[in-house]
Amino acid sequence: MGTLKRGAAAAAIGLIAISSSTTAWAEFPDKPITLVVPFSAGGPSDKIARDLAEALRKPLAQTVIVDNTAGAGGTIGAARVARASPDGYTLLVHHIGISTAPALYKKLPYRTLEDFENLGLINEAPSTLIGKPGLAANNFADLRKWISSNDGKVNLANAGVGSASHLCGLVLQATLPSKMAFVPYKGTAPAMTDLMGGQVDLMCEQATNAVPQIEAKKVKVFGVTSKQRMALPALAQVPTLAEAGLTGFEMSVWHGVYAPKGTPPPVLARLHAAIRAALKDPELIQREEALGVRIVTDARLEPAEHKKYVEGEMIRWARIIKDSGESAD
Ligand code: ASP
């Protein structure tokens, strides 16, 4: 074959390859999509992922499954998605912990900024400081006294190193003279069971999971981590932790969606458009808002802004974590 003919044949093969893969993308998704949640079922991350999965069914015309791959503060589930095939069928729904793990873990099984494609930041919720039902304190001032009279004996549950509950615990610990013991779980759903049963004393948990238990009087609430008091009936009388005397204590937990690095741009575009449409679903909005969660549709829902936000949070939390002296293997 002459050079020209070989060139034409190669171009034709190239065209066939491009057009067949474009067709494959055009058909995306043609099988169920899995949302990996790096915490146990029944917690706040699981809740937003399940609400999102439900709302994504219509815009994607596909089944969306939630799979909990819990442990090590969310790093095991994140690593699973970082290593998954970049075809858009395995996605990660992770929270603020994706930004804090790099400062906490000596070795991470993935690279936070390099191994994922950002698909958007989707929600944020304040946390609440809650205690076991029989705890001998009814407000934050009493709680402070109770913690100092039980110096070293108070247990604070969390969802593992780098989880939102752990971070909130670190910030809280930094404001108190007495030492508390951190008790890690694979998510805050099992931690909540133990808190209600009195096996642990305290937990800093997103409103999402705390509100139903506060309403049912199964836990005591001492404060919210939002700047202003929350409007929800269950929390309207609850002071902010800043009001209760913890100056500068403000924290909200956000979730984002991620695909493995190298997912084709048309697939990412299709997924992002579907997420944007899902977040407009009135039922999703209502279900999340009833638990104190704000659905995010500001600039951070844009993939590039989401990535910038993750970077900013990495820097912000690296400072707080360094001051706390906390780390994990
Ligand atoms: N709320 C948890 C945390 O503290 C995670 C979860 O179970 O959703 O990070």
Give the ligand 1 atom nearest the CA of 186. 7
Mutate to test the pocket of ligand 1, among 95, 127, 168, 172 (most ligand atoms within 8 A of CB): 95
What DSSP string runs through 12-60? HHHHHHHHHHHHHHHT--SS-EEEEESS-TTSHHHHHHHHHHHHHHHHH
Give the ligand 1 atom nearest the CA of 163. 9
Q: What does the pLDDT read at residue 29?
A: 96
Q: What does the pLDDT read at residue 21?
A: 53
Closest to 188 measured CA to CA, from 73, 49, 328: 73
Q: What does the pLDDT read at residue 13?
A: 41
Low-confidence ranges of the chain (pLDDT < 50): 1-20
31-124+253-324 and 126-224, same CATH topology: yes
Q: Where are the beta strands (DSSP E) in the chain?
A: 33-37, 64-68, 90-95, 116-131, 155-158, 181-184, 202-206, 220-224, 252-260, 294-295
Q: What does the pLDDT read at residue 322?
A: 86
CATH for 31-124+253-324 (3.40.190.150, 3.90.198.10, 3.90.1150.10, 2.130.10.10): 3.40.190.150
CA 82 to chain centre: 16
Mutate to test the pocket of ligand 1, among 129, 206, 251, 252 (most ligand atoms within 8 A of CB): 206
Q: What does the pLDDT read at residue 265?
A: 96
Give the ligand 1 atom nearest the CA of 39. 7
Q: What does the pLDDT read at residue 84?
A: 98
* Model pLDDT for residues 131-146, shown as the tens digit of each residue: 999 999 999 999 999 9
* Strand-pair partners of 244: none
Asked whether the whole model's pTM tops 0.85, one would answer yes
Centre of ligand 1 to C-alpha 165, Å, is 6
Centre of ligand 1 to C-alpha 163, Å, is 6
CATH class held by domain 126-224: alpha beta
**Lining residues, ligand 1, CB within 6 Å:** 39-40, 43-46, 95, 97, 159, 163-165, 187-189, 206
Centre of ligand 1 to C-alpha 308, Å, is 23
Spell out the domain ranges in the chain.
31-124+253-324, 126-224
Mutate to test the pocket of ligand 1, among 127, 156, 163 (most ligand atoms within 8 A of CB): 163
